[in-house]
């Protein structure tokens, strides 16, 4: 009879408690599917307190590092979070002691993933992290194992539910960003300090892991150009809708002639694309591989039950004896990808300007765009809310009017140079809004 796989869990918050309950509920099914029984035998957390019958009967260990070295466990599950100790030290201890590790810690992997993967390989144990990227969506297994025979051209997706929730409501209800952010915080979708989510850093950490799996590069979130969604307005989403697009915060990694381009930013995507249909707190990843039609994976990207499902699936792989290089290739084979400046990005752009009402304004704008070889696909000029000449006073200047430009494929550098030159001419007010367009 095969001995049971004994699991120790560090972190008994929403996800950790859900993992314990899921293993208990699915004990018989897991035993059949994995060929051996899986049982949680020990746990630790920041505070020891009553947590209910499912958790109180598990043996308590004083701290995570001690649990990681416990001779009675086979697998160490890290669900504490944080990009350093105690999570890092505990995982290192477990791997050094020949124990496989399962983690949902994207921040730790983005910062120390290579060193941890090398340690796992050295000790011939598994380091699994499906839950770190897309909750219940099997992104890691798809890229690392399910499509191991494919060469990838581009991977891109919605990897943060908070931002997708805000953008969905901004589009549907025409409410400003600040109002919707407060509502997201009230509902528990956004933290008290939402910077990490809304400025794109959470997406960047996940993209760093995805890009490594897809393109065989070293995990490095510093190689990613990052922009958030806080500058967007309902007017931008309304304009996108009229032009046949929808705005999403995307993480994009793609193969180019100059290397692997990695970027996170608000993006206009065609409304008929699969990624545009993903609304609310849902996450998605689209995969462009050579020789096959694009694949889009969609599902809950966070939450106790969703994350626990991926954690238990990773434990199940270990029970089956499945072990592969954490990032799909031996760490020694992963290559360095230098940060590609956004000046090199090529694609279409949405540009919203506030044009002053005076003769020659539009000619000046188009002249500087042409100087940078930027061609326009469409132009939309909106009327100012103010009356002509500012109302009853004919000497009062008119309010600047919004002008929306959609360009054909060009470079980031060309767009930025053109806008800088236009601003110097004094024909626009405020700061131009620029959103990249990602085609199917």
Active site residues: 206
Alpha carbon distance 116, 110 (integer Å): 11
With beta carbons less than 8 A apart as the criterion, state whether 249 and 265 touch.
yes
- Scored b (16 or more CB within 10 A) or e, 61-90 reads beebbebbbbeebbbbbbbbeebeebbbeb
Alpha carbon distance 131, 186 (integer Å): 25
Separation of first and last alpha carbons in the chain: 52
């Amino acid at each position: 009879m095969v001995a049971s796989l004994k699991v120790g869990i560090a972190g008994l918050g929403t996800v950790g408690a859900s993992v314990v309950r899921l293993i208990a509920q699915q004990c018989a099914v897991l035993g059949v599917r994995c060929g051996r029984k899986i049982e949680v035998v020990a746990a630790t957390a920041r505070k020891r307190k009553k947590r209910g019958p499912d958790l109180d009967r598990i043996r308590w260990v004083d701290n995570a590092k001690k649990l990681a070295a416990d001779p009675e466990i086979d697998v160490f599950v890290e669900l504490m979070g944080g990009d350093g100790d105690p999570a890092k030290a505990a995982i290192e201890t477990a791997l050094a002691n020949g124990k496989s590790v399962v983690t949902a810690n994207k921040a730790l992997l983005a910062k120390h993933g290579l060193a941890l993967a090398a340690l796992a390989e050295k000790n011939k144990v598994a380091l699994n992290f499906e839950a770190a990227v897309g909750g219940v969506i099997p992104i890691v297994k798809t890229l690392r194992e399910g499509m191991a025979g494919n060469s990838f051209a581009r991977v891109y997706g919605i990897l943060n539910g908070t931002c997708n929730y805000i953008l969905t409501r901004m589009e549907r209800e025409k409410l400003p960003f600040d109002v919707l952010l407060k509502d997201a915080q009230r509902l528990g979708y956004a933290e008290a300090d939402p910077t990490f989510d809304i400025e794109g850093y959470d997406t960047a950490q996940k993209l760093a892991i995805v890009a490594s799996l897809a393109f065989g590069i070293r995990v490095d979130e510093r190689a990613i150009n990052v922009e958030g969604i806080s500058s967007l307005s309902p007017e931008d989403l309304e304009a996108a809708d009229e032009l046949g697009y929808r705005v999403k915060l995307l993480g994009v990694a793609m193969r180019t002639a100059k290397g692997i381009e990695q970027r996170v930013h608000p993006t206009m995507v065609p409304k008929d694309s699969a990624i545009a249909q993903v609304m609310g707190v849902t996450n998605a990843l689209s995969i462009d591989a050579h020789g096959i039609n694009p694949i889009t994976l969609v599902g809950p990207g966070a939450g106790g039950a969703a994350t626990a499902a991926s954690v238990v699936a990773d434990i199940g792989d270990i029970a089956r004896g499945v072990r592969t290089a954490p990032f799909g290739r031996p760490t020694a084979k992963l290559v360095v990808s230098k940060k590609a400046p956004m000046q090199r990005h090529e694609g279409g752009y949405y540009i919203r300007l506030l044009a002053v009402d005076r003769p020659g304004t539009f000619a000046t704008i188009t002249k500087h765009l042409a100087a940078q070889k930027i061609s326009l696909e469409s132009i939309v000029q909106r009327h100012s809310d103010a009356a002509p000449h500012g109302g009853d006073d004919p000497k009062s200047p008119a309010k600047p009017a919004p002008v929306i430009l959609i360009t054909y494929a060009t470079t980031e550098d060309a767009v930025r140079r053109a806008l800088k030159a236009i601003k110097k001419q004094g024909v626009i007010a405020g700061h131009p809004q620029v959103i990249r367009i990602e085609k199917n």
